[in-house]
Structure 1
Amino acid sequence: MDQARTTISKIFNGEPHSYTRFNLTQNMEGDNSQVEMKLSSDVDEEVGGNGVGEHLNHNNSNRKPYVAQKLGRTPKNLCFMAAATFLIFIIGYLIGYLVHRNKDVAPICAASVLPAEEPVARETGAAPLMDWDDVKKLLAKKLTASKLDSVFSDFSSTDHQAGSPGDESLGNKVLNKFKEYGMQSWTDEHFVKVQNAPASGSNKFVFKNNPEERPSGFLSYSFTGKATGAVLYAHYGRESDFRMLRDKSINMNGRVMLIRAGKISFAEKVANAAKMNASAVLIYPDPIDYTIGESTQMFGHVHLGSGDPYTPGFPSFNHTQFPPVQSSGLPKILAQTITQRMGTTILRQLSGQNLPEGWEGFNRLGDESDTITLEVNNVLAEKKIHNVFGVIKGFVDADRYVVIGAQRDSWGPGFAASTVGTGVLVELARSISDMVKNDGFKPRRSIVFASWSAGEYGSVGATEWLEGYLSSLSMKAFTYIDLDGIVTGQNAFKVAASPLMYSLIEKTLKEVKSNKDMSLSSQFAKGNWEANVLEPLKMENAAYPFLAFSGIPSVSFRFTTGVSDYQYFGTLLDTRDKLNGVTSSQVPQLAEMAAKFAGHIALRLVHDHLLQMDLRKYDSIIRLNVAQINGKVNTVQRVQPQLLPKTLTVQWLNSASGSYSRASRSLAADILNSDLEDVEMCRIINERIMTVERNFLSPYVSSRESPFRHILLGSGPHTLKALSTHLDALGTNNPEADADLFRNQFALATWTIQGCANSLAGDIWSLDNQI
């Protein structure tokens, strides 16, 4: 090879001899014109000539052709050129051989690296690889009645009132479980004010000349002091019950209302009585509704709201700098529970008018001579409570999460009120954590598990957490699933939820199997599932502040007797034996189905690319409310034209309703046409869905004065229901009606709906400005 290299160098670079020289020239066009070989004797001719072109075109008849001269004069060069040609041929052959050999070897190496014909599946971050049917099967395997039964035993306690050592001990148990499952866990500390029974002395009452009675049960947040008045029986204390009494021209001013427990909350009973200018309320369990024994004490609260009523609208963290203030939901009248025996003793001695038609019980309502003196000495105290949390983080949108929560405290044993829910919460955390760690399940979004304290005082722990982190939660938490009181019977299944979740609930009812090896839908939701399963979400439910205060779609559910509410809530008889009695000892089996129902909803929401929320339900609800308001406005304008002039039109409200309808249909179309593998597109659509509930919160009322700002499901004069009620008052010329106030509320509600439609539409250039 060295010899060949030397020879080629001699040919192309030349030797210091006189016999050859190479000239490489380029013309002005940039191409190679010619390669010229000249003898040294020709140099003089080139120098004296006209350049390359002239030299090549020169014809001299006395000279031999160029190559002939070359070959003729130096025959030795022929040998060198032959040798060079042969060496070039050999080198070219070797190069070709090596290239050809490499081509033959390369496929063998590639085959050894990638033997599979199909590409290996991999997680792209855009979508979990696990099929939804596999997710359901995994959850079903991990949630069993036997495991739940064991957990219930671990978390059963006879003394875990909020802020007590027993409550703190249970909280530490939950925290340790979360840590054991490998979850990131933390606690949230609050200093809340609650009202307890007097530590010394007692609450008491004296009716006529009967002996003094001292009930040990109490109603937290009652007004304290002493009141004397005539007893008036008011059935269940509903607004309709008080209207019946008013229609009988009965004076209710200063009366002490005797009211049966049930139908509505203690707080609503007291609030309704206060509107009638009553001085006090006594609540008892009637034997028609309750078979809990004549001496069983009842406990509860009368704050018409949720959370710490002494920090309304803001969190009860330690050393807060907010000035002292009280919730508008605190009553200004006395309230006290009494036993069944105490209540029936009073009823037997009442005189006055007969009961209205349809009211069960004794014969008389009571008159001015049936006097009673009530004294309430409850004590306000500050308690330190802890909420406990654990999180399973998502793999795509980890900063978006569903929250699953359960109350941990209770007045007494609280087996149905708190133990079952806490046990299901812990088991769901264990099961889903295990699915992620050991079975390859990768949720797109996160799941937060929460154990609340002070639930018996009105969802205090949950509400304080919401108030403390409202700005973050309202943007990132997209669903709350409540586990309180999920097993109170076995004959019916009831669900209270945001309308956004109706479709998901219907699907889940069909997927979850009952203990009779049939779907929950087949067993409990025959025919019209909404009529048979759905019920209103009540204010005393822990899911209510998530929905009506924070604008987070929420769901609460329960197995029930189908006839009445669980009798032992709010008593010291809420034990495992009592719950076994109303469920035929099927508590673990019913809890398993409840856990699967909650688990299916949570996993579906964190598994799918797009949130399973149905915007059409709110469309129909808005249209129904608008139609009712439209009809009532026309009626008032006809019968009371001086109150609502013809210039007041529902055109704006109709237009806002139409805007929401178009925006919801547009988003539904975007969902159908979306690319599920486009992570950013899915996130944008999910953000639009998440704004719907939040934008139904009226921005025109104070969260301190009217915390439940949801115009469709909230409470207060800003709601569409309140508008409809106000129109009824205007139509009857009720002195409490205010036409100017109605017009103002009407305009604000209209623009709240329009604002929700604008947000749902998405980009600012997509807004419908027809209003």
Structure 2
Amino acid sequence: DYYFNAVEIRRSFPSSLHLVDSAGRVFEQIPLNPSDYCPYSATGNYTGGVVYAHYGRPEDFNWLRSVGVLAAGHLVVMRVGGGVSFAEKVWLAERNGGGGALIYPDPADLPQDPRRLGLNAHTAVSEHVTERKPERLLNTLELTSDSPGLPLIPALPITATVAAKLLSQLSGPPCPPSWRGRLPYVRCVLGPDFGSGRRVRLSVQNLMTPVLLNNIFSSLEGREPDQYVILGAQRDSLGPGAVKSGVGTAILLELARTFSTMVKNGFSPRRSLLFVSWDAGDFGNVGATEWLEVYLSMLHLKAVAYFSLDQAIMGDDHLSASTSPLLVDLLDAAIRQVEHPKHAGQTIYSQAERDGGSWRIMKPLYLNSGAYSFTAFAGVPAMELRFTEDRAYPFLNTPLDTVPRLQEVLGGRLGVTGRSLAELVGEMVLRLVHDHILPLRITSYAQTVLQLSAQLNKHSAELQSRGVSPQWLFSARGDYSRAAETLQRAIDYSDLHDPNTARFYNTRIMKVEYYFLSQYVSAMETPFRHVIHGRGNHTLSALTEHLTLLTSDPGRFDENRFRRQLALFTWTLQGAANALNGDVWSMFNRF
């Protein structure tokens, strides 16, 4: 099956970078590769000094402010990596008053010696810079300069060579030692002065181009066809895309072939399987998110889980899983059964224990993940799995991301590594489509909220002095914990072979993730409504970040804002507890 939708995607005209004098006259043009661009960058020109902001993380901009270096009115140069997406870097640069963003790969992060499978100094890394997909209007996506999530400042990926040329001419306070990279001839300073009154002029001219999305679906119908497990991988890439899209697509096709063969040979899955090849992944997972927007109401209590196969193989040393905590038990069981691709005779679990603990495999969902929208936007438990190296895969999002280079990185083990990951996903999917009761850890979020409760307890005296009481949150957390434990005990002592009983409990289990989507914020203005994994003022991360201001910067603590954050989170948590209990009225009785 196919799903089509017309969208507009911001593509690029050649950008330019010039050095100008105090009068604005150009005295040097810096050569750029015309194919290097950031999808969705704002169009425009900006001239200013240069500020070096390390990885462009919140703490990096905070440190700059603490030493009196402001990004306002200047171009902000940031390094690829640091656990921050291009979109977040540009958004933070804009939020701090920067007039433009330049992002480069530093040799300290991505080795650049071609003889050691490194990224050469003349190659830039490209990535989109939108924090969300714009709203649907009349079955199209209309992207304008004021669309939510689109940056208002121009952004451009640059090479290490260009970055060295700019940063070597900076003057200003010295960088902290941890900010020093490995660019040649660069004495690490923060800027913004650029020597002899010179400035840098950035010009980005992007064009909105209508394109037709083409998501491709294949399904295997189960005995309960209205409940299904989804597997997906993006099909597009800005470059050759061996890692970005090729490996994930190959694993997706192989899993579809394998399960189809099982069904032909007599296997009858309880739940349905849906295999999806997504379009426009490199433009912010547009294909997947667009489909989610259309079918969001249908997904509730139908989609059991989603597995993203994007960027699945970047090495063969370590497995990482960005996941909803509801799927942790499934993963733990699977890694005990599948052989490690690099260590024959050892499971992934046993090797992880040797490396310092299998818990290191589990990571939170992140904004640029192919799985993120399913949980943060649609309330479906999701996971993205990946094998990696100790040394970062340097060619991702570049024209050098080819199969021969990936094979060389893996020492020719691409096939066996792909097989291990496919077996891992297959084991988890098999349980989800076969077991009477969905093997999801419904008590997992109780521990997450317990950690917040501990932080609130540390600040209880200060909060009480300001007239703020976290008592309702403690009550909601207790209600959720009891509801989850009660449901789990009821499942443990029930006849799960009775179809009606199993379906009753599975329906309750499938509500858990969905009811962590806040009903108290606008889905249009705040699409990632999940209070744990989402983005916005209603989330746990926003609440805890604001709470830390009580000790780090009390003057910036806003009592009214904190009360609202606490209320939004508490109401959502209490609603999840009531839904788990099957009690839709107690919330209104209590508040």
**Normalising by the residue count of structure 2, what TM-score does the alignment of the two structures yield?**
0.92
Q: How far apart are 1:734 and its partner, in Å?
A: 5.8
Q: How does 1:315-714 map to 2 (within 5 A)?
A: 317-318=139-140, 327-361=147-181, 362-370=187-195, 371-395=199-223, 397-438=224-265, 440-515=266-341, 516-526=344-354, 529-564=357-392, 566-637=393-464, 641=465, 644-645=466-467, 648-714=468-534
Contact 1:207–1:346, Cα closer than 8 Å, also in 2: no
Contact 2:125–2:398, Cα closer than 8 Å, also in 1: yes
> 3-state DSSP class of the match of 1:342?
helix
Q: For residues 311-344 of structure 1, what are the alpha-carbon distances to aligned partners after superposition, in whole Å with 9 as ceiling and x for unaligned?
A: 2xx47735x8x99895421111111011111111
Q: Which amino acid counterpart does residue 500 of structure 2 have in structure 1? A: E
Q: For residues 734-765 of structure 1, what are the alpha-carbon distances to aligned partners after superposition, in whole Å with 9 as ceiling and x for unaligned?
A: 66543112212211211110000000012559
Q: Which residue of 1 aligns with 2:17?
A: 205
> Which of 253, 276, 282 is residue 72 of structure 2 equivalent to?
253
Q: Which residue of 2 aligns with 1:96?
A: none
Q: Which amino acid counterpart does residue 481 of structure 2 have in structure 1? A: S
Mark the CA change 1:277 to 1:578 in structure 2 (over 3 Å): closer, same or farther: same
Q: Which amino acid counterpart does residue 384 of structure 1 have in structure 2? A: L
Contact 1:207–1:372, Cα closer than 8 Å, also in 2: yes
1:719 aligns with 2:539: yes
Q: For residues 28-83 of structure 1, what are the alpha-carbon distances to aligned partners after superposition, in whole Å with 9 as ceiling and x for unaligned?
A: xxxxxxxxxxxxxxxxxxxxxxxxxxxxxxxxxxxxxxxxxxxxxxxxxxxxxxxx
> 3-state DSSP class of the match of 2:177?
coil
> Which of 91, 99, 115 is residue 279 of structure 1 equivalent to?
99
Q: Distance in 1 between matches of 2:264 and 2:560?
A: 61
Q: Distance in 2 between matches of 1:272 and 1:663?
A: 39
Q: Which residue of 2 aligns with 1:188?
A: 3
> 3-state DSSP class of the match of 2:299?
helix
Mark the CA change 1:323 to 1:522 in structure 2 (over 3 Å): closer, same or farther: closer
Q: Distance in 1 between matches of 2:204 and 2:400?
A: 24
Overall identity of the aligned pairs, in %: 39
Which of the two has higher C-alpha Rg?
A: 1
Q: How far apart are 1:368 and its partner, in Å?
A: 3.0
Q: How far apart are 1:478 and its partner, in Å?
A: 1.3
Q: How does 1:120-159 map to 2 (within 5 A)?
A: none
Size of the aligned set, in residue pairs, is 566
Q: How far apart are 1:607 and its partner, in Å?
A: 0.5
Contact 1:692–1:760, Cα closer than 8 Å, also in 2: yes
Q: Distance in 1 between matches of 2:148 and 2:357?
A: 37
Structure 1, 728-737 or 220-229: larger mean CA deviation: 728-737
Contact 2:232–2:275, Cα closer than 8 Å, also in 1: yes
1:756 aligns with 2:576: yes
Q: Distance in 2 between matches of 1:764 and 1:196?
A: 48
Contact 1:711–1:719, Cα closer than 8 Å, also in 2: yes
> 3-state DSSP class of the match of 1:300?
coil
Contact 1:730–1:739, Cα closer than 8 Å, also in 2: no
Q: Distance in 2 between matches of 1:316 and 1:240?
A: 41
Q: How does 1:202-241 map to 2 (within 5 A)?
A: 202-208=14-20, 209-216=27-34, 217-241=36-60
Q: Which amino acid counterpart does residue 4 of structure 2 have in structure 1? A: E
Q: Distance in 2 between matches of 1:513 and 1:316?
A: 49
Q: Distance in 1 between matches of 2:373 and 2:95?
A: 24
Q: Distance in 1 between matches of 2:427 and 2:291?
A: 25
> 3-state DSSP class of the match of 1:211?
strand
> 3-state DSSP class of the match of 1:475?
coil
Mark the CA change 1:763 to 1:654 in structure 2 (over 3 Å): closer, same or farther: closer
Q: How far apart are 1:581 and its partner, in Å?
A: 2.0
Contact 2:476–2:574, Cα closer than 8 Å, also in 1: yes
Q: How far apart are 1:363 and its partner, in Å?
A: 2.4
Mark the CA change 1:410 to 1:355 in structure 2 (over 3 Å): closer, same or farther: same
Q: How far apart are 1:465 and its partner, in Å?
A: 0.3
1:243 aligns with 2:58: no
Q: Which amino acid counterpart does residue 191 of structure 2 have in structure 1? A: G
Structure 1, 594-603 or 519-528: larger mean CA deviation: 519-528
> 3-state DSSP class of the match of 1:665?
helix
Q: Distance in 1 between matches of 2:76 and 2:584?
A: 55
Q: How far apart are 1:215 and its partner, in Å?
A: 3.3
> 3-state DSSP class of the match of 1:382?
strand
Q: Which amino acid counterpart does residue 193 of structure 1 have in structure 2? A: E
Q: How does 1:80-119 map to 2 (within 5 A)?
A: none
Q: For residues 4-40 of structure 1, what are the alpha-carbon distances to aligned partners after superposition, in whole Å with 9 as ceiling and x for unaligned?
A: xxxxxxxxxxxxxxxxxxxxxxxxxxxxxxxxxxxxx
Q: Which residue of 1 aligns with 2:129?
A: 302
Mark the CA change 1:768 to 1:698 in structure 2 (over 3 Å): closer, same or farther: closer
Q: Which amino acid counterpart does residue 339 of structure 1 have in structure 2? A: T
Mark the CA change 1:696 to 1:765 in structure 2 (over 3 Å): closer, same or farther: closer
Q: How far apart are 1:254 and its partner, in Å?
A: 0.8
Q: Which amino acid counterpart does residue 304 of structure 2 have in structure 1? A: F
Q: Distance in 1 between matches of 2:81 and 2:559?
A: 35
Q: Distance in 2 between matches of 1:732 and 1:514?
A: 44
Q: Which residue of 2 aligns with 1:59?
A: none
Q: Distance in 2 between matches of 1:302 and 1:629?
A: 35
Contact 2:73–2:98, Cα closer than 8 Å, also in 1: yes
Contact 1:635–1:731, Cα closer than 8 Å, also in 2: no
Structure 1, 245-254 or 500-509: larger mean CA deviation: 245-254
Q: Distance in 1 between matches of 2:429 and 2:589?
A: 37
> 3-state DSSP class of the match of 1:421?
helix
Q: Which amino acid counterpart does residue 248 of structure 2 have in structure 1? A: G
Mark the CA change 1:195 to 1:485 in structure 2 (over 3 Å): closer, same or farther: same
Q: Distance in 1 between matches of 2:307 and 2:435?
A: 17
The RMSD of aligned alpha carbons is 2.1
> 3-state DSSP class of the match of 1:596?
helix
Q: Distance in 1 between matches of 2:508 and 2:280?
A: 34
> 3-state DSSP class of the match of 2:230?
strand
> 3-state DSSP class of the match of 2:456?
helix
Q: Which amino acid counterpart does residue 228 of structure 2 have in structure 1? A: Y
Q: For residues 700-729 of structure 1, what are the alpha-carbon distances to aligned partners after superposition, in whole Å with 9 as ceiling and x for unaligned?
A: 111221111111111111012211212233
Q: Distance in 1 between matches of 2:237 and 2:143?
A: 30
Contact 2:69–2:190, Cα closer than 8 Å, also in 1: no
Q: Distance in 1 between matches of 2:440 and 2:588?
A: 22
Q: Distance in 2 between matches of 1:420 and 1:539?
A: 21
Q: How far apart are 1:523 and its partner, in Å?
A: 1.7
